[in-house]
Amino acid sequence: MNSQRSDGDFEKTPSQGGLHSPAGSTDERQPGQFTHAPVLAAEVVQGFRDRRTPSTVIVDATVGLAGHSQRILDELDWAEVIGIDRDRRALEQAQDRLSRYGGRARLVHARFGEISDAVAPVAAVAGVLADLGVSSMQLDDPGRGFSFRFDAPLDMRMDPDGEDADVAGFLLAVSTKDLIRIFRENGVGTLSIRYANALKSQLPVATTGELAEIIVSATPARLRGGRTHPATKVFQALRVSVNYEASELIHFLPAALGLLDRGGVMQVISYHSGEDRLVKRFIRLVETGGCICPPRLGCTCGAEPAGERTTRHAIIPSDDELAANPRSRSARMRALRRTANDVADVLERYWQQVPTWHG
Ligand SMILES: C[S@@+](CC[C@H](N)C(=O)[O-])C[C@H]1O[C@@H](n2cnc3c(N)ncnc32)[C@H](O)[C@@H]1O
């Protein structure tokens, strides 16, 4: 496999400060290099080990700092990896880590919602992995505006070179009503209206510091002293919004199923309940073929199962992993093996049903 990136060379930027690890991973910086502990890595490799496809390609749809990709390439000698990320700075780091695997690894700058185009001309693969969310490299880079720990321009885009608005621009454009809905859908809770009104009445909000301050001021005094900063969920909701994270996942799941060879496996690691619910419903739909006949009458709609879950329940980090890496605590991995040759019918049913899967 060609080890060159498909979209040309990335311009090198100076190494960013701080830890370089995915959210949920621990990293210890060695002089001149970074080490890396990807979440549920042994379980991810195990999930791909039993290969039942002619294809040997595994797509790491969120390659980040290539922690999972490295483990896959080290432990599965048959595997070739195509790594995708929307963040060019992550790809630069991944490139450094994967160059020693030569033609077994290729990197692509793309969104995973467009996974099929991103991996073309490869059209059938043995496995797909998505380790959702942001990396600690993104969270811990003071200049990128993901965290209220650093005062920085209010950006939060995973692809800052893209054309989408940053959070500062998004707050100017969004209506108060939509902002309330976004906060509610992303777990901000009963203070959603109060926070949305506070932000919309103090525009422009240009920095992470200003955003955090407005949220703290709008929080009733009795709720301010908790373990979690009052702005945590607001930051997450705005990040999810400007990066279209829900829409990306909605498009990724069927595209990944379509890309798998029969017998291929997809594995998705989620870090919040909304994502995990969507993945779970998708797996159930594929297992039932999208049948919505009342169970007591049996299926009369002709739905055929197109895949099966490979583990009964979601996989969560072991006690050892949690002890070594507390940031992995919210991780849940679900996996699906494609069993059908033809998945067109189940994908059509998915697009009919997914608009009704609220929250
Ligand atoms: C949790 S990190 C992955 C870490 C990686 N598994 C590792 O071991 O280093 C998530 C990565 O996915 C990327 N990402 C998130 N959403 C994406 C999307 N829709 N398309 C492509 N990349 C995305 C982020 O930029 C980030 O680098």
Tell me the pLDDT tens digit for each residue of 237-270: 999 999 999 999 999 999 999 999 999 999 999 9
What pLDDT is stored for residue 358 in this prediction? 75
Domain residues for 206? 165-242
Q: Please indicate, yes or no, whether residues 58 and 175 belong to a single structural domain of this protein.
A: no
Does position 32 have pLDDT exceeding 50, yes or no?
no
One-letter amino acid at 102 equals G
What pLDDT is stored for residue 36 in this prediction? 52
Question: Nearest residue CA, atom 15 of ligand 1?
Answer: 133
The answer to the question of residue 143 being in a domain is no
The answer to the question of residue 21 being in a domain is no
Least confident interval from 54-58, 73-77, 226-230, 258-262: 226-230
What pLDDT is stored for residue 228 in this prediction? 87
Alpha helix ranges (H) inside the chain: 41-49, 67-75, 88-98, 115-119, 136-139, 167-173, 176-185, 192-200, 208-218, 232-242, 245-259, 273-288, 319-324, 344-353
What pLDDT is stored for residue 4 in this prediction? 32
Q: Please indicate, yes or no, whether residues 252 and 103 belong to a single structural domain of this protein.
A: yes
Q: Please indicate, yes or no, whether residues 122 and 259 belong to a single structural domain of this protein.
A: yes
Q: Please indicate, yes or no, whether residues 255 and 346 belong to a single structural domain of this protein.
A: yes
Radius of gyration of the chain (CA): 21
Q: Check pocket membership of 248 for ligand 1, CB cut-off 6 A.
A: yes
Q: Please indicate, yes or no, whether residues 43 and 132 belong to a single structural domain of this protein.
A: yes
What pLDDT is stored for residue 229 in this prediction? 92
| Ligand 1 pocket mutation pick from 62, 82, 132, 243 by most atoms within 8 angstroms of CB | 62
Does position 29 have pLDDT exceeding 90, yes or no?
no
Q: Please indicate, yes or no, whether residues 255 and 336 belong to a single structural domain of this protein.
A: yes
Query: How far, in Å, CA of 332 to CA of 147, rounded?
Result: 23
Binned at pLDDT 50, 70 and 90, residue 28 comes out as very low
Of 191, 222, 242, the domain-final residue: 242
What pLDDT is stored for residue 308 in this prediction? 98
The mean pLDDT of the chain is: 89
Residue 26 phi, psi dihedral angles, 5° rounding = -105, 150
The answer to the question of residue 147 being in a domain is no
| Overall average pLDDT of the 153-164 stretch | 94
What pLDDT is stored for residue 21 in this prediction? 34
| Ligand 1 pocket mutation pick from 89, 137, 158 by most atoms within 8 angstroms of CB | 158
Q: Is 133 helix (H, G, I), strand (E, B) or coil?
A: coil
Q: Please indicate, yes or no, whether residues 68 and 93 belong to a single structural domain of this protein.
A: yes
Question: Nearest residue CA, atom 22 of ligand 1?
Answer: 85
* Number of compact structural domains in the chain: 2
Of 208, 226, 242, the domain-final residue: 242
Better pLDDT: 37 or 66: 66
Does position 33 have pLDDT exceeding 90, yes or no?
no
Contact 20, 97 (CB under 8 A): no
Q: Please indicate, yes or no, whether residues 90 and 129 belong to a single structural domain of this protein.
A: yes
Residue 7 phi, psi dihedral angles, 5° rounding = -110, 30
Q: Check residue 44 and give left, alpha or beta (phi > 0: left; psi -120 to 50: alpha).
A: alpha
Least confident interval from 53-67, 129-143, 153-167, 264-278: 129-143
Q: Please indicate, yes or no, whether residues 86 and 179 belong to a single structural domain of this protein.
A: no
pLDDT digits (tens, 9 = 90+) for 70-89: 999 999 999 999 999 999 99
Shortest-distance atom of ligand 1 to CA 112 = 20
What pLDDT is stored for residue 14 in this prediction? 26
User: At 265, which CATH number?
Assistant: 3.40.50.150
Q: Which residues contact 271 (CB under 8 A, 6 or more apart)?
A: 23, 24, 132, 133, 330, 331, 332
What pLDDT is stored for residue 11 in this prediction? 23
Of 213, 242, 271, the domain-final residue: 242
What pLDDT is stored for residue 181 in this prediction? 97
To the question of whether residue 206 is assigned a binding role by annotation, the answer is: no
What's the ipTM?
A: 1.00
The answer to the question of residue 289 being in a domain is yes
What pLDDT is stored for residue 206 in this prediction? 97
The greatest distance separating any two alpha carbons of the chain, rounded to the nearest whole angstrom, comes to 65
User: At 238, which CATH number?
Assistant: 1.10.150.170
Does position 22 have pLDDT exceeding 60, yes or no?
no
Q: Please indicate, yes or no, whether residues 194 and 283 belong to a single structural domain of this protein.
A: no
Q: Check pocket membership of 254 for ligand 1, CB cut-off 6 A.
A: no
Binned at pLDDT 50, 70 and 90, residue 37 comes out as confident
Shortest-distance atom of ligand 1 to CA 24 = 1
Q: Check pocket membership of 34 for ligand 1, CB cut-off 6 A.
A: no
Q: Please indicate, yes or no, whether residues 314 and 344 belong to a single structural domain of this protein.
A: yes
